Structure formats: C-alpha cells, structure tokens
C-alpha cells in the first residue's frame, strides 16, 4: 500500500532533516552508556538497538558501555548473597565479584550483542579484562565526621576506578566494522577483577577515544532546576554552580561529574538523556531538541537545546 501525499511529504521531510546531522557526525565516535529502564522494556530495547545500528549505517562509530545493577541484584538475591551499598556503590567481595562478572560479562553483554545483531548490526562484546582493555586500580573510599581527626578508610572490596584504557582494542573492532559493547569490569596489576561504575567507564572511554559525544541514558527526563524545570543546554561553569548551590545532588552527582570530566578533557558534548523515551539516542543525534540535558564548554550552550 502506497503512502498518501500527506504521509509521503511528512516522511520525506523527516528523512531530509537528518542529512545535516549525518554530514556533521559521519566518521565521529559517540560513546553511549546503556542502562536503567531502557534495559528492562522490550520496546525500549528494540529502539535502542535500531538507533545504534542506524548510527553505524550512516558512518557514525557508536561505542556502547553498559551497566546491569538490577540484574546483579536479582541474581545475588536468588543466591542468598546480601547486597550492601556504601555511598551508592555496591560492596564487592569475591563472591559478589563472581556474580558481577557472570551477569555483566556474560548474560547482559551477550543480550545486548544479540539485540544489535538482530537489528542488522555487527556487535562484538568484550569486558574490560579482554586484551587488558581497562586497567583498573582499587577505589579508595574515605569517610570523615566533624569529631574525627582523620578520615576513615572504608574497604568496599573489588570496586575499582579506571587507571588506563588501551584504545587499540576498540580501534581494531571499529576498523573491522564492529560495534563494541563493553562490560565495565577492569583488571588490576595482579590480574584481579574490579567492578567499575559504568558511567565512569563511559566517560573515560569517551575521553581517550576523543569522542564527539558522550550519551548517558538515565531514568529521569534530564537535569532539573529547583522549580522542577528541565535544564537543556548548560556550560561546564553553569553545572559547577548548580552543584555548589545543591540544585544537583545525591545520586545524580557521580553521573554529572563524569560528564563534566569528559567535556573538560575534550569531548565535544555530553548528553544526559531520558532512556524511557523510545529512540532517545536517535533523537539526541539527529535533532536539535533531544530528550534531556546537554553539557558543553561553549559559552552559548545556554541557548542550545539538548
């Protein structure tokens, strides 16, 4: 059945609007952190996979870093292993680390690879341990109260931070026509595994790859001001002000800080977008409006939309 004249006109206009974005971003790298609601809803899974495949098809190089906290929590519960958190970070002993590797490195990673493949793409799943892609070091967590003379060091187990990333592994996959799908597990100097926050890995990956964009999918509509309005275009200076006056606080702070670090390190822009919206990634790449908050170093970003 052919399109009506109105449908044909609308379809042609939508397709034509993507041309400037394709021309602008072709050949560029976009790092996407995938997690949250987008991982638990079948429609959102399909739209995410199609967005990633479309990007690759028009010459953009997507690199996917994924989380999997809820899936880890579910398996730990089934195995009767207690989940403990300190400052929002999962305490990771050796038994918990085994579960983290099983869930992130196998179950979740392979599911995403299969999703992208089913949508017509060529995805290749790796963990940060493969080829020593992500070298990690133990994350040191300290706690200090006013009555303490010195901070208390808290051991949260095999939780790490990024020490270095070997981009040759990623470049090999991208040059071979693959879409890298990366589980945020790092390897220490002694060969031990480390559980690393996926937002942090995505931010560092964007930095070392010299990415055009860092996109962080979240479970919220974007950053909001104190009146509840979505903040669209922000400079790094403005974000620092919002942190200082506690407009940005709590669980959003680590995500914002990794986005800030990436932009300050040379990534052109960071986007915190609503992963609950179908085709959120495509909307962020191929429209001016997007579905979240844009952070750049540009002085005029307050006038831009995400």
pLDDT tens digits along 253-293: 778 888 999 999 999 999 998 888 899 999 889 887 667 88
Task: For residues 139 and 280, give the distance between their C-alpha atoms in angstroms, rounded to a whole number.
Answer: 32
pLDDT recorded at residue 301: 40
Residue 241 has pLDDT above 90, yes or no: no
* Residue closest to 213 by CA, chosen among 299, 296, 288: 296
pLDDT recorded at residue 1: 62
Residue 252 has pLDDT above 80, yes or no: no
Residue numbers in the known binding site are 68-69, 90, 195
Residue 126 has pLDDT above 70, yes or no: yes
pLDDT recorded at residue 299: 54
pLDDT recorded at residue 300: 44
Residue 183 has pLDDT above 60, yes or no: yes
CB burial class (10 A; 0-12, 13-18, 19+) of residue 2? exposed
Task: For residues 279 and 38, give the distance between their C-alpha atoms in angstroms, rounded to a whole number.
Answer: 10
pLDDT, one tens digit per residue, over 62-101 is: 999 999 999 999 999 999 999 988 877 889 999 999 999 9
Buried-exposed string 169-186: b where 16+ CB fall within 10 A, e elsewhere = bbeebbeeebbbbbbbbb
Tokens of 164: 């270095």
Residue 304 has pLDDT above 50, yes or no: no
Residue numbers in the known binding site for substrate are 68-69, 90, 195
SS3 letters for the chain?
CCCCHHHHHHHHHHHHHCHHHHHHHCCCEEEEEECHHHHCCHHHHHHHHHHHHHHHHCCCEEEEEECCHHHHHHHHHHCCCCCCEECCEECECHHHHHHHHHHHHHHHHHHHHHHHHHCCCCEEEEECCHHHCEEEEECCEEECCCCCCCCEEECCECEEEEEEECHHHHHHHHHCCCEEEEECEEECCCCCEEECCHHHHHHHHHHHHCCCEEEEEECCCCCECCCCCECCEEEHHHHHHHHHCCCCCCCHHHHHHHHHHHHHCCCCEEEEEECCCCCHHHHHHHCCCCCEEEEECCHHHHHCCC
pLDDT recorded at residue 219: 83
pLDDT recorded at residue 207: 96
pLDDT recorded at residue 306: 44
What mean pLDDT do residues 121-144 have? 91
pLDDT recorded at residue 145: 59
What is the overall mean pLDDT for the chain? 87
Residue 216 has pLDDT above 80, yes or no: yes
Residue 298 has pLDDT above 90, yes or no: no
pLDDT recorded at residue 268: 93
pTM of the model: 0.89
Cβ neighbours, 10 Å, residue 205:
29
């Amino acid at each position: 059945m052919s399109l009506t004249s109105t449908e044909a006109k609308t379809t042609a206009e939508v397709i034509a609007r993507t041309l400037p974005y394709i021309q602008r971003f072709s050949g560029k790298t976009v790092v996407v952190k995938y997690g949250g609601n987008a991982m638990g809803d079948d429609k959102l899974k399909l739209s995410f996979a199609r967005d990633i495949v479309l990007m690759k098809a028009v010459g953009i190089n997507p690199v996917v870093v994924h989380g999997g906290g809820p899936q880890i929590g579910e398996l730990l519960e089934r195995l009767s292993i207690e989940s403990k958190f300190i400052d929002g970070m999962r305490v990771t002993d050796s038994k918990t680390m085994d579960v983290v590797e099983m869930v992130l490195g196998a179950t979740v990673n392979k599911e995403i690879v299969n999703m992208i493949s089913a949508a017509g793409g060529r995805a290749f799943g790796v963990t940060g341990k493969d080829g020593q892609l992500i070298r990690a070091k133990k994350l040191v967590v300290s706690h200090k109260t006013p009555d303490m003379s010195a901070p208390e060091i808290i051991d949260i187990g095999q939780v790490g931070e990024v020490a270095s990333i070997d981009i040759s592994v990623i470049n090999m996959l991208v040059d071979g026509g693959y879409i890298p799908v990366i589980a945020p597990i790092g390897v220490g100097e002694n060969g031990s595994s480390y559980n690393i926050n996926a937002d942090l890995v995505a931010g560092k990956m964007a930095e070392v790859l010299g990415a055009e964009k860092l996109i962080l999918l979240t479970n919220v509509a974007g950053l909001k001001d104190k009146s509840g309005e979505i903040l669209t275009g922000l400079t790094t200076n403005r974000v620092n002000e919002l942190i200082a006056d506690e407009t940005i606080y709590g669980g959003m702070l680590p995500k914002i800080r990794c986005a800030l670090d990436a932009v300050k390190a040379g990534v052109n822009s960071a986007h915190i977008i609503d992963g609950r919206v179908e085709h959120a990634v495509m909307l962020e790449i191929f429209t001016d409006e997007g579905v979240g908050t844009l952070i750049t170093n540009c002085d005029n970003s307050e006038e831009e939309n995400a």
